[in-house]
Amino acid sequence: MTDVNNISSGSDTAGARYKKLGLGALLSVAIGLVVSQGVMVLMLQGAGIAGIGFIVPLILAYVLAISYAMSFSELSLMIPRAGSLSTYTEVAIGHFPAILATFSGYIVVAMFALSAELLLLDEIIAKVFPALVLPPMSVALGILALFTVLNLLNIDIFARLQTALAVVMMIVLLLLGLTAIEHEQAHSVSEIITQGAGNPMGWGVLALAAMAIWGFVGAEFVCPLVEESERPARDIPRSMFFGLTAIFVTIAIYCLGALLLIPREDLATNGLPHYLFATTVFGKTGQLFLATAAVTATCSTLNSSLATIPRMLSGMAQNGQAFPCFKRQSARTGSPWVSVLFIAAITGLPLWLMDLGSINLLLSAAALAWLLAYIITHINVLVLRKRYPEQARPFRTPFYPLPQIIGIVGMLYALWNISPSAEQSRRIYEVAGMVLGTVAIVAIVWIKCVMRKPLFKPEPLASVLLSGQTSRDK
């Protein structure tokens, strides 16, 4: 029988030629995909609803994010393959959860979150440049078409700029927050507390946990880079932990600055609170400042997603977990062109059906799908610890299994309280449930009728590690 531990420990030698990414590069990936327009909007709306009390769900979201970072670190270093959540899940709890987790955490999220990003960009451009009379959604669809073509040609215009873009976006949020705090019209913390902006929701503020979590999802995108990392055992976990901590501090300053300068009710009800914030702090200059940041954030997020998610889908097709057409690659560019077109299509679909008022719905539905994937990730760690207790783990979760239990319970709580509004919660469950239900039905039929495998029978870890080592040796 193949020695699983030898395969795992031998991956460092087999993959040596791929090692080139240091902590800085991985940190930029962990931060770059998190900081987006959706984060800029939802964090300000949350602060508007809860006032200073929004720090409570922010802290809860940060703790839950650290828990998922621990689980992803353990899994990615235990199974050092340039794969995705699908790889970890198929060896833990079977093909059905693997398909559901990957579609839920990445492909369904792309459908909701990327659409919201493009909707926001379209609205910002219309606000900043009112003289441009353009058809509705023309900017959003144009940007989507541009980056679809670039990814079909396998051209990544942001590859060399990823670190700089991540730093710029963090500086933008910090600059807004710190400038607002020092603004001549800014109130003091004690003043806004006496004005009712302390914590008007009381313990009900915990219902905003799902909204706050959106500020911390996506750091695990560093995990598929495990084979290209210079020191994966050290840098994969650190990049996520440092990145999430930097994001927490930045968001806290960003929200505090907005609360000190802008009435809480205005932040809560404005569809573009980041536009209101930027123009209040910097006036007319703030419009161009925000437009630049919005274009940068949306294009970077869209480009990164179109570059990575289709490859996840293509990898699933190569494992027999998705339609064979998704593994087709262009003979000239090497791009998984069918997968790229599919992700672009499901991203563009909501643009025809939604408007600015649907931003919160789309992002909340995306958060629901992402939380489901994170819960499955925690379960993977618990199951694999039991099934393979002697397996080499370059990173072991501190205080195991407490982080996984806290993560699962906290994320289930956030799912149960997906929105403080009962009506909005119902709509979120309906939209996300319809899409995820369709995915689940297709997955069941595919596994039973095409793959002809049990839904919940795990693949042997040794065979997965061996196939990964074989692919690296080629």
Q: What are the structural domains of the chain?
A: 28-453 (1.20.1740.10)
| Burial class of residue 323 (count of CB atoms within 10 Å of its CB; 0-12, 13-18, 19+) | middle
E runs forming strands in 140-210: none
Question: Does the pLDDT of residue 46 top 80, yes or no?
Answer: yes
Give the other-Cβ count within 10 Å of 224's Cβ: 20
* Closest by CA position to 210, among listed 429, 48, 424, 419: 419
At 212 the pLDDT is 92
Peptide bond into 403 cis (omega under 30): no
The Cα-based distances of 237 to 73, 91, 125, 232, 463 in angstroms read 5, 21, 37, 8, 25
* pTM: predicted TM-score of the whole model, two decimal places: 0.87
Question: Does the pLDDT of residue 135 top 70, yes or no?
Answer: yes
| Contact of 291 with 124, CB cutoff 8 Å | yes
At 313 the pLDDT is 86
Q: How confident is the model at residue 73 (pLDDT cuts 50, 70, 90)?
A: very high
**% of the chain residues with pLDDT over 90:** 36
Whole-angstrom distance, CA of residue 458 vs CA of residue 86: 12
| Contact of 157 with 303, CB cutoff 8 Å | yes
Phi, psi for 91 (deg, rounded to 5) = -90, -10
- In this prediction, residues 356-383 reach a mean pLDDT of 88
* Closest by CA position to 427, among listed 368, 373, 375: 368
Whole-angstrom distance, CA of residue 299 vs CA of residue 304: 8
Question: Does the pLDDT of residue 83 top 70, yes or no?
Answer: no
User: What residue type is 396 in one-letter code?
Assistant: R
Listed range (143-152, 246-255, 349-358, 411-420) with the worst mean pLDDT: 349-358
Q: How confident is the model at residue 467 (pLDDT cuts 50, 70, 90)?
A: low
At 10 the pLDDT is 39
Whole-angstrom distance, CA of residue 465 vs CA of residue 261: 54
Rg of the chain over CA atoms, in angstroms? 22
What's the mean pLDDT when you consider all of the chain?
84
